[in-house]
A and B are shown apart, each in its own frame.
Chain A
Amino acid sequence: MLKQKILILCALLTLAALLLWFKIPVASSQGPTLIAARVTDALPSQDLNSALWQQATALEIPLSAQTVTRPMLLETNVKAVTARALYNDQQLAVLVEWADATDNSQMVRIQDFRDAVALQFPIVEGLPFVCMGQQGVNVNIWHWKADWQQDLVAWQDMNSVYPNMNVDSYPFAEGQNPAPSDYTDANYVPAYELGNLMATPHKSSVEDLTAGGFGTLTSQPLDAQNVQGHGEWNNNQWRVIFTRNLTSAETEDINFAEGKMYSLAFAAWDGANNERNGQKSTSEWISLQIGKPAPVTKVTTADTITATPPSPQEIAIPLGLIVVPLVLVILVRTLMGKDEEPSE
């Protein structure tokens, strides 16, 4: 019996190693499902109190501290978020709510950190590693930032936090309180000059990003930023709406279709606890169902993969998946002795 267990373990390990080798995402059990409710009206992209949200079922998703890679914080503050989703013919909207005792929407002082929340979608079938995806299997991240929300009202500057500050003049800049965009010589605001989205005026409070593993998080280009956001802090609670068109022409963006199931993970940061980067709370993968599951129909041409002969790799993977564990099983059995142990 023990030998059998070892054999099974060996086979599983081999399978896992092969999946990793060929960068095939390991599908794990999906968590709960967030069902996006269909509405015919325009989505309440700015209206947190719209009655339409009552049509969506709220789902509470537990969060825990990221403890896979450094830097990490063992005690993070956001323990759960509640999500609701709506969609219509054009768009998907997700409302995320969580408890937070403080509104941290300043990022000017050195000791300031923002409150933030993010949604993460794999952009291919299957589930990549839940923390930022993995090499070769990218994820699409929508990152809402409390300070960007504030910036849309008025760009936060030195005088937002130091109202009595006075400087005679700033060379190469126009005005007394120049924003990065007021510089006549942008060499003196290098992050702005290089188009770093941290430094440039925001189109939205949500940043649209791509990642494929730790340390690879990259903003999508400014003209590919297509997620809208709206967030408000009230009564020790953040409520944030993400809105995007169901389909996107960008290759690094997820596309949604009615009746289909997608994967989704959440992350949240409490600025008051100096949370930023990997120092955050994250969820496991959950499912996102857009409306009712589509009835099973025959494969349409649109769903058909372009007919091309299978590549050697495409043949090798399934072949390897069968042959290698088999060989290993035989090998282990041979090594452990030919006589079969009587089963219990």
Chain B
Amino acid sequence: MVFLIFLSITGIALNHLNDLGLNERYIRADWVLDWYGIETPLVEASYEVGGYRAALIGERLYFNEMQVAEGIEALIGAVASSQFIVLASNDSLVLMTSSGVFVERMPLAGQLTGTVQAIGKVGETIVLSSDEMIYQSDEQLVRFSIARDINYDDVSWSVVSEVPPNQLESLYDVYRGADITVARLLVDLHSGRLFTRAGPIFIDFVGVALITLSILGFFLWFKRRPRRHKGAG
């Protein structure tokens, strides 16, 4: 009985995923995430920039606790200019405003040869190092060109800084809490997939049992149903 109520409730909720916004709500409960085996990779690189923290965890780039890009192979550095805060990956730049608003993820293909190895600043000019060449940006941070007049030692290069423990904990919470939606949990509960591989088989078994019971019930009722007796006179 309890099981049927559970199946009905999850079924009704699944019919209204979008109305209830369950596709956008994420599970944060540790025991559920542990059950799913969601692990948190270590922070691969982290930089402090303009009062913010940029950190790369498992190809996701975080700006404080906001995920700003995915599919980032390596975080090379971060610098702040008067216009933007610039986070450099090996093949693109993520631009943020000084108030922490996402501007764009800017691919660097066609602008320099090789991959970015370091990012720094000379005055207000953003500088990238790639394949032993130094490139400088224009004022609007749209185009890069080879910087012939800038020496490597003149540049204030971005350096790694460790994430403080309290911030690290929040970052890991955010990372773990971005994978399993309430909708996904409901689907897995309803189908039985949450309960190991035997779960769906068990649900199938229950389904077949319910069908059998319904058919048997109908036949039993049919056989024992009160019959009208024709009057004797």
On whether the two chains bind one another, the answer is no
Query: Which residue numbers of B lie inside 8 Å of A, CB to CB?
Result: none
A interface, CB within 8 angstroms of B = none
